[in-house]
Amino acid sequence: MSTVMQERYVVTPFFVFFLVHANMVGVGILGFQRSLIHPAGYDAWISLIATGLSTHIVMWMMYSMLGNGAIDLLQLHESCFGKWVGRMMSLLVLLYVFVAGFIIFRSYVEVVKLIIFPLMNTWSIGLVVLLLVYYVVSGGFRTVTGICFFGVTVPLLLILPLFAFPFEFIQPNNLLPVFSHSVKELYLSAKSGIFNFAGFELLFFYYPFIKNPGQSRKWAHAALLFTTVLYLALTLITFMFFTEGELEKIIWPTLTMVKIIEIPLIQRIEFIVVSLWLFVVLPNICLNVWAITRAMKQMFALNQRKTLLFVLLAILLTSLGLDSRTGLMELTSMYGETAMYFLYGYIPFLFFAYHLWGKRRGSRTPLEHNQ
C-alpha cells in the first residue's frame, strides 16, 4: 500500500505549532507552581528554563528518526525490535498515552466539580466532556487539528489578558536572592515539572499527517519555545504575588490569582475562567484519544469509531473507580515519573537504536489512508 497520505487527510506544517503547544498546556497550568516550589523554592524558575531547553533536544531526536525513513512510532518500533516485540512496545506507549489523556480529563472534571458544580456527580460532568471528545475525534485528524487551533487562540485572546491584573500586587523582591539552592534541588524541581511539558511526543503519531513534514520542524521548536516562555512568565508572576508559605497551601495558584479581578455584574470570575478552560483541555484529550484509535487501526485493523467508543468508555469507567483527589494526585505523580523516563530515557534509547540498526532493517508497516 502506498505510504503517501491522501491530501484530504493532511495538514500544513504551520499547524504543528498548535498541535504541539495545545497538547503541552492543559489543566496542569492552573496549579503547576505548587509542585515546582517544594524542592527549589523561588529558584524553581531556573529549573523551568532548563526543562524547556531540554525539550528541544528531545524534539530534535524525534525529527531525526522520523525524517530518515520512519513515518511514525509504530514503524520505529518494528524497525528496531521486530514485529511482535515492536507491537508490545507500542502497546505500552499507548497505555502511557491513555493515562495522560485520562489524567487531563479527570483533573478538569475535578476542577469543574469543586469550583462550579460541587453537588454534581463525577460521571455526569465527565459524560458531557466525553461527548464533545467523541464529536471531535470522530471527525478525523483535521477536525482534531482544528480544535487544537482554537484551543490555543481562544484562551490567549480571552484569558491571558486577565493575568495583567496581579501586576499591581507583585513583589519582585520575592525572587531574591537568586541561585540560593543547590543543583540537586534544582534538578528535583525540574523533575517535578516534567508533567507540564509532556505531550509533544505525540508527534510520533501524527507525523504522517503533516504535509511536507520536514518543513514543520521550525514550527515544532517554536511551539516548545512559546510554551516555555508562557510557563516562565506565569511562574514569575505567581512567585512575586504569593509567599512560599501561601503557595504550599494553595491548590490552584493561577486560579487564585484570577479571583482578585473585579468586574461589574460578575461576582465569580473563576467560573468564567474554568468554563473557558475547556478550550484548553479538550485538545489534550482529543489528541491523545485520536492517537490511540489511530494506532489500534494500524496494528490490528480495528474500526476507528468502534475503538473510539471503547476508549471513551474506559476513560469514564476508570474515572468512576478513581473518585478521590488523593488517588488522582498519586496517579499524576506516577505519570510524571514515567514521562521523565519516557522523554529523557526511552526516546534517546530509541534514537540510538534506530540509527545503529533500525534503519538498515527497514519496516513493513503500511500506512493506512484513513482518519
Q: What is the DSSP track for 299-325?
A: HH---HHHHHHHHHHHHHHHHHH--SH
174 pLDDT exceeds 80? yes
Decide if 5 contacts 367 (C-beta within 8 A).
yes
DSSP 357: I
- Terminal CA-CA length for the chain: 16
Q: Which amino acid is it at 303?
A: N
Residue 365 has pLDDT above 50, yes or no: no
| Cα gap 289→314, rounded to integer Å | 11
pLDDT of residue 369: 43
pLDDT band of 65, cuts 50, 70, 90:
very high
pTM above 0.85, yes or no: yes
- Can you tell me the mean pLDDT for 234-261? 85
Weakest mean pLDDT among 23-27, 49-53, 132-136: 23-27
Give the pLDDT score at 358. Answer: 74
**How many helices and strands in the chain, by DSSP H and E?**
19, 0
What is the per-residue pLDDT across 270-314, written as a single tens digit (0 to 9) for each?
Answer: 788 888 889 999 999 999 999 999 999 999 999 999 999 999 999
Predicted confidence at residue 368, as pLDDT, reads 45
Kindly give the interhelix angle for 278-300 and 122-137, rounded to the nearest 10 degrees.
60
Q: Please check whether residue 239 is in contact with residue 45, taking contact to mean a CB–CB distance below 8 angstroms.
A: yes
Q: Note the pLDDT of residue 361.
A: 67
Kindly tell me if the per-residue pLDDT of 260 is higher than 80: no
- Lowest mean pLDDT of 42-51, 148-157, 258-267, 333-342, name the range: 258-267
- Cell numbers that stand for 281 in this block: 483541555
Q: What is the DSSP letter of 26?
A: S
Q: Are 72 and 207 in contact (CB under 8 A)?
A: yes
Query: Please, which residues bridge with residue 11 across strands?
Result: 210
Cis before residue 264, ω within 30 degrees of 0? no
* Cβ–Cβ < 8 Å for 359, 75: no
Mean pLDDT value across residues 137-146 = 96
Whose cell is 541561585? That residue is: 179
- Chain centroid to CA 99: how far? 11
What amino acid occupies position 237? I
Is residue 36 predicted with pLDDT exceeding 90?
no
Residues in contact with 97: Cβ distance below 8 Å, sequence separation at least 6, in sequence order: 202, 288, 291, 292
Query: What is the maximal distance between C-alpha atoms in the chain?
Result: 67
The domains found in the chain, sorted by start residue, are 7-351 (1.20.1740.10)
